[in-house]
Structure formats: structure tokens, C-alpha cells
């Protein structure tokens, strides 16, 4: 699933929104397994010279706190030798809530200030989102639809811009940073009833 050179550092932190189920959950588990397998092979190939100081940390975001706790335990179970794979923080909340964004910023501040754990690679995966009202066609929107459209964009677009800005600002000193925006075919093709969703995902393609 991942190329061998996906890991650009030995101390990596991955932040995933919508991590409690579906693609976000599976992505976290797959990344953890790939990281463990990659370093096992690397050390096995050069046991005398390979650097054995490596770790993978996760920041997990979702509205489902119990599901994130379960995922965190599953990630730790993939551990290599000792506490090398673990969860730094679990943020439970909706991305259209400013309190959730503030919690994310506090987590980034804490990570950036932790001189005892210097990350050389950070990844943020924008996976959370919603389809919107699939029963409402474009012709149904009018002068009274502003609040509904704004609420949708706050969840699916505004939050992504806010979190990306926070991510880049707090981790300027980290050499390798990766931003992953999960999108879909709706970004390039029209689908009946998905006008809001198409608007949201097209922003991550062009």
C-alpha cells in the first residue's frame, strides 16, 4: 500500500481526522503496521549498524471518543519492541466546533515544545467530512440557504484550512512535513444531490 520510502524519519508523528472508523481507522492501522515492518526489516538487514532509535506517534481526532480509545489500544498492540508505537493525544469533537480546533492547536503546541521527543517527520491526514444533505439539489438553494452552506463549509473546508495553518506554523522547524487531503471522484464529476460535497472536495484537487 505504501512505498518503501514513505518514512523520511525515524521519529514520526501522524495526525488523522475521522480516525474512529472507515478509511481513517484503517489508514492508522496500516501505517502502524507498515512502520513496524519497515523498521524490523531495516534492523534485520544491518543488525550491527542500524539505528534502533525510532518511534511512531499518533494524534487521533473524531467525534467518537470510545472508538478512538479502542483504536489507540490496537495501535499499541502492533508495537515493535517496547513503547515505539503509541498515541500522543485523542481529540474528541466535531471539526466545526472551535473548541475542537483549539484542542488541536494546544496539542500541536505541546508536541512542538517537547524537546525530549524531536520528530523528524510529521504527517497530517484530513480525512473527516460529511456528504451534506443528499436530498437537496442545487436548484433548491436560495436566499435562505446561507447558514446551511456556511455550516457545511465550516466542517469540511474551513476546519481543514485552520488545522493546516496550525500544523505548518507550529512545525516550521521539522524537516519533513506531509499534508494529505482525502478527496474523491466527486471532485471532478457531478453527482445528483451532492452539490455541497462536490464543492468541498474539489478544493483539495485544484
Rounded to 5 degrees, what are φ and ψ at 62? -175, 170
Domains with residue ranges and CATH for the chain? 4-132+166-184 (3.40.50.720)
Tell the residue number behind the cell numbers 511512531, with chain if given. Answer: 56
Tell the residue number behind the cell numbers 447558514, with chain if given. Answer: 147
Running DSSP on this structure, what letter comes out for residue 158? Answer: I
Q: Supply the pTM of this predicted model.
A: 0.89
pLDDT at 1 over 80: no
Tell the residue number behind the cell numbers 481526522, with chain if given. Answer: 17
205 three-state secondary structure: coil
For 32-54, write each residue's pLDDT tens digit.
999 988 888 887 888 877 777 88
What gap in Å lies between CA 69 and CA 146, rounded to an integer?
A: 37
For 8-30, write each residue's pLDDT tens digit.
778 999 999 999 999 999 999 99
The confidence score (pLDDT) of residue 136 equals 82
The confidence score (pLDDT) of residue 3 equals 56
The confidence score (pLDDT) of residue 48 equals 78
For 44-99, write each residue's pLDDT tens digit.
888 877 777 889 999 999 999 999 999 999 999 997 666 689 899 999 999 999 99
Amino acid at each position: 500500500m505504501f512505498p518503501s520510502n514513505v518514512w523520511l524519519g525515524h521519529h514520526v508523528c501522524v495526525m488523522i481526522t475521522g480516525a474512529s472508523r472507515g478509511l481513517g481507522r484503517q489508514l492508522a492501522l496500516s501505517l502502524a503496521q507498515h512502520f513496524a515492518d519497515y523498521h524490523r526489516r531495516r534492523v534485520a538487514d544491518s543488525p550491527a549498524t542500524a539505528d534502533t532509535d525510532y518511534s511512531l506517534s499518533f494524534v487521533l481526532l473524531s467525534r467518537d471518543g470510545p472508538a478512538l480509545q479502542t483504536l489507540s489500544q490496537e495501535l499499541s498492540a502492533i508495537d515493535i519492541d517496547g513503547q515505539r508505537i503509541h498515541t500522543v493525544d485523542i481529540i474528541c469533537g466535531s471539526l466545526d466546533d472551535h473548541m475542537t480546533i483549539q484542542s488541536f492547536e494546544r496539542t500541536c503546541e505541546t508536541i512542538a515544545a517537547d524537546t525530549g521527543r524531536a520528530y523528524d517527520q510529521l504527517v497530517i491526514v484530513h480525512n473527516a467530512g460529511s456528504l451534506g444533505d443528499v436530498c437537496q439539489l442545487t436548484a433548491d438553494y436560495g436566499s435562505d440557504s446561507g447558514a446551511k452552506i456556511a455550516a457545511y463549509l465550516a466542517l469540511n473546508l474551513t476546519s481543514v484550512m485552520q488545522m493546516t495553518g496550525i500544523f505548518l506554523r507550529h512545525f516550521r522547524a521539522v524537516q519533513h512535513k506531509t499534508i494529505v487531503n482525502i478527496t474523491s471522484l466527486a471532485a471532478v464529476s457531478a453527482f445528483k444531490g451532492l452539490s455541497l460535497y462536490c464543492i468541498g472536495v474539489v478544493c483539495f484537487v485544484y
